[in-house]
Chains A and B, each alone.
Chain A
Amino acid sequence: MTAEVLLQGIVSGLLMGFVYALIAAGLSLIFGLMEIVNFAHGEFLMLAMFSTYWAWALWRLDPVVSLPLTAAALFLLGFATYHGLIRWVLGAPMLAQIFATFGLAIFLRSAAQAIWGVDFHLVKDPLVQGRISLGGIFIGLPQLVASVGALLAFVFLNWFISRTETGLALQATAQDRQAASLMGINTERMFALGWGIGAACVGVAGALLTIFFYVFPDVGSTFALLAYVTVALGGFGNVPGTLVAGVVVGLIEVLGGLLIAPALKYVAVFVLYLLVVLWRPQGLFGRF
């Protein structure tokens, strides 16, 4: 194992980590707001990827170009999911909430399979392609664009939550629903907005991912699992914590594969997760 291979691994892990973080951010946001785990998060990602793919296949819109469209579409999807489904199970037992989003996940995945079939798709010849080489270390431009895009989305999200009035209202709702309501915040609207923003985050991530990743009805499940780990690691509801956790997961994945064995790379990720959860059940940056 040369230093070069190791360094390459660290670079690759970092790049992927930012994307993991953005995928997890939406999940974390929704959970922080209303303590509901969206089990359909991976399917939202899959829909974002398909929407990006079809924008390219039908209208030759590059993923980078169609990104705002995808984000908007996913925002609407999140918004609709809240109003059509989540609102009705808010007061229900936790099990009902789990089954609601879990059922949605299965429905979306099967629908995608029924409508688009089980073929794998790729966006061919995207605007961003090729790679740069820095002293023997390769950085794929698609990956670079994806991670920079994810980082920008993160900065924007953080700014929105902590600096704008709506963002502060979101935070207030997350902290205490009743108190926020008493202050004149329409919590119902905040919930819907939270779902919209959470879904839009995964929309951006999906669009960026489609530049270099295949599109398939089942593609979301693989990422979703890592997203749950990332959220738990970063602390439920803590958006900046998710960024750090995403990068940690990305790095552990590659380094575990390089230093231990490829078949065990996820073992490394989950062992770290277990250790963190045992030591700090609230996650690395969790509030409680």
Chain B
Amino acid sequence: MRRAIGLLSLALVALSPWAPAQAQAPKEVVIGILYPLSGPVAQVGIDSVNAVKMAVEIINNGGSTLNLPLGKTAGLPGLGGAKIRLVIVDHQGKPDVGQAEAERLITQEKVHALYGAYFSSVTATASQVAERYGMPYLNAESSSPGLTERGFKWFFRTSPHDGHFSVAMFDFMKDLEKRRGVKIKTLGIMHEDTLFGVDSAKVQEELAKKYGYEVVIKMAYRAKTTSLDAEVGKLKAANPDVFLPTSYTSDAFIFVKTAKNLDYNPKMLMAQNAGWTDPSFLTEMGKDAEGHITRAPFALDMADKKPMIKPINELFKKLKDNPGGRDISDVPARAFTGFIVLADAINRAKSVNPEEIRKALAATNMPPEQLIMPWSGVKFDEKGQNTGVRAILQQVQKGKYATIYPFELAAADVVYPLTPWKDRK
């Protein structure tokens, strides 16, 4: 039934005389925004919507002095100053809701492009609808590698995926060996046993082979546990040079406490964010987290190397929907960046014709100066994946996350090896 309706609507769209009507510039460009705005991760969705609204404000109001491709003049100059209007929907983190909402946005709200949806699973279904209707879809934050492996024509992703993050870790180890003349030989992988941990460990094991490191221990464990004594005991026995955990928050807490208690001292601890970047991790762990390294896609302390971060963060903090004045964090920063890329493509397309927008997106070539992300630019490959992405690594130094890699964006030097527990105060 759904397919029948889909085909019927497709036929209607194909037959409708809307294409010629678009010949002259439209007054507004409508973009459908999908985010989780209720449920346990609602805050991430709300922050992301705020970042998108901020981007729209900059573009629509004009007079901006920021080094962005748009915002100098009001509206999109390529479309005669047309304004952007958002239609924001809540997909509740459910793939089926995302799918239905995408359908509604395209058929009823008559949007010109779709944007979102944070959850990889929802992005997967919503972008499938977009693909069926031939509607440009830009995703700025979903990290499942498979999304850009589906051979879609209308799907574009500006964000790095989990593969990129792990590659950054291994590049870092190789670079550190060269730079410091140290020798890293063995790795220990510990991962929680759901999709996130299993996938991360699999990629890390493959990369270890490729980069010539020996994985001396790889173990799965349950994130919901009351003790990690056995796990840390095994790690101590295997004693790898570098320890690579993929953990959620509660288990990260127990791990650090247990490692301290049982005097487990790897030379380096490099985590696949999640638990290690939870806002409470640093405040609660205090000096016990000192020296730990985690991957991250964005960091405020890059501001010295990326001057645009500071004014954008100030704008973000002053948003009226951001009552606590929270700093712009990783996901909203990516949402902001992705939206600018989409708006810029529509502007260059000089039309709201989907095919023109798709062509403009495919031709995107945004230089690094116009980004707040640590990337070498935005340029899509034939799969729609941004090839300019780079993950950064941060190390906890003096109680704060300091960017340490890539070296040219680093705000601090790497502390290596990790200080053993007995030498800490």
Contacts and interface: CB of A to CB of B under 8 A. Distances in A.
Contacts of B263: 131, 133, 138
Interface string B370-387: 000000000000000000
Interface string B264-291: 0000000000000011110011100000
A138 B262 contact: yes
Interface residues of A, number: 41
B400 interface: no
Interface string B144-186: 0000000000000000000000000000000000000000000
B104 to A, nearest CB: 31
A121 B227 contact: no
Nearest to B279: A119
Given A262-B221, A263-B222, A266-B222, A12 B237 contact: no
B220 interface: yes
A210 interface: no
B294 to A, nearest CB: 16
Contacts of A133: 263
Given A121-B284, A222-B225, A263-B222, A253 B230 contact: yes
B110 interface: no
Interface in A125-166: 131, 133, 138, 140, 142-143
B284 A258 contact: no
Contact of B40 (A13, A118, A121, A216): A118
Interface stretch (B14-22, B80-88, B253-261): B253-261
A140 B227 CA distance: 13
B124 to A, nearest CB: 26
Contacts of B234: 5, 257-258, 262
B249 interface: yes
B202 interface: no
A121 B233 contact: no
A263 B221 CA distance: 4
A214 interface: yes
A254 B227 CA distance: 8
A74 interface: no
Contacts of B229: 8-9, 12-13, 16, 254, 257
A1 B286 CA distance: 32
Contacts of A1: 237
B250 A212 contact: no
A214 B284 contact: yes
Nearest to A261: B219
A257 B261 contact: no
Contacts of B108: none
A241 interface: no
A277 to B, nearest CB: 21
Contacts of A256: 230
Interface in B202-235: 219-222, 224-227, 229-231, 233-234
A226 B226 CA distance: 9
Contacts of B236: 5
A262 B226 CA distance: 12
Given A5-B233, A262-B234, A122 B226 contact: no
B28 interface: no
Contacts of B261: 131, 138, 140, 142-143, 212
Nearest to A253: B227
B219 A212 contact: no
Contact of A122 (B227, B233, B284): B284
B224 A222 contact: yes
A99 interface: no
Contacts of A263: 193, 219-222
A214 B226 contact: no
Contacts of A140: 261-262
A8 B284 CA distance: 27
A174 to B, nearest CB: 29
A9 B232 CA distance: 10
A214 B227 contact: no
A212 B250 CA distance: 13
A124 B227 contact: no
A120 B227 contact: no
B278 A120 contact: yes
A54 interface: no
Given A2-B237, A213-B254, A263-B220, A254 B230 contact: yes
A5 to B, nearest CB: 5
Contacts of B250: 120, 214, 216, 219
Interface in A190-234: 212-214, 216, 219, 221-223, 226
B230 A9 contact: yes
A135 to B, nearest CB: 13
Contacts of B249: 120
Contacts of A254: 227, 229-230, 233
Contacts of B253: 120, 122, 214
Nearest to B421: A131
B46 to A, nearest CB: 15
A177 interface: no
Interface string B232-255: 011011000000000001100110
20 contacts: A5-B233, A5-B236, A12-B229, A12-B262, A20-B226, A119-B279, A120-B284, A122-B253, A124-B286, A140-B261, A212-B261, A214-B253, A223-B226, A254-B233, A258-B233, A262-B222, A262-B231, A263-B193, A263-B221, A265-B222
Smallest CB-CB A-B distances: 5 pairs: A257-B230, A12-B229, A140-B261, A263-B220, A262-B221
Interface of B: 40, 193, 219-222, 224-227, 229-231, 233-234, 236-237, 249-250, 253-254, 257, 261-263, 278-281, 284-286
Given A5-B234, A254-B227, A263-B221, 16 more contacts: A1-B237, A9-B230, A120-B281, A124-B286, A133-B263, A213-B257, A214-B250, A214-B284, A223-B226, A253-B227, A254-B229, A257-B229, A257-B230, A262-B222, A265-B222, A266-B222
